[in-house]
């Protein structure tokens, strides 16, 4: 099921994201020196950013159009994570993930 956006909606969404990104960058510049006094807060913010990124990656891996994306994508991402963890070059990680996902789909997973 696809949803189309009007030009106005797309421009408003893009403008909102741009303004939010700029605001966060400006806030980071303003708070940069002040956060050094609070190491516990720095640790929480680092953990929060890691959890946010992990949640985004997990939802992108497991879901497509609100439904389960299938075993092939999960296997491809798992193989990429394994190779990245082992320190493989980026081209090898991407190529291996693509091959694993393609073979999995070909085998009917």
Q: Note whether residue 9 is domain-resident.
A: yes
Residue 5 pLDDT level (bands cut at 50, 70, 90): confident
Does some domain include residue 44?
A: no
Counting the structural domains of the chain, the total is 1
Structural domain of residue 18, as residue ranges?
1-31
Distance CA(3)–CA(9), nearest Å, equals 12
Average pLDDT over residues 85-93: 95
Read off the pTM: 0.62
pLDDT in tens, 15-40: 998 998 898 888 878 877 777 788 88
Q: Concatenated DSSP letters for 38-71?
A: -HHHHHHHHHHHHHHHHHHHHHHHHEETTEE--H
Give the number of other Cβ atoms within 10 Å of residue 69's Cβ.
15
Q: Tell me: pLDDT of 67 over 80.
A: yes
């Amino acid at each position: 099921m696809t949803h189309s956006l009007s030009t106005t909606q797309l421009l408003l969404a893009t403008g909102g994201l741009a303004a939010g990104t700029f605001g966060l960058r400006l806030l980071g510049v303003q708070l940069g020196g002040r956060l050094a006094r609070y190491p516990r807060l720095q640790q929480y913010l680092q953990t929060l950013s890691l959890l946010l990124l992990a949640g985004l990656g997990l939802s992108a891996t497991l879901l497509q159009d609100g439904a389960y994306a299938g075993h092939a994508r999960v296997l491809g991402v798992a193989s990429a994570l394994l190779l990245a963890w082992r320190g493989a070059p980026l081209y090898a990680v991407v190529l291996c993930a693509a091959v694993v996902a393609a073979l999995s789909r070909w085998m009917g997973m």
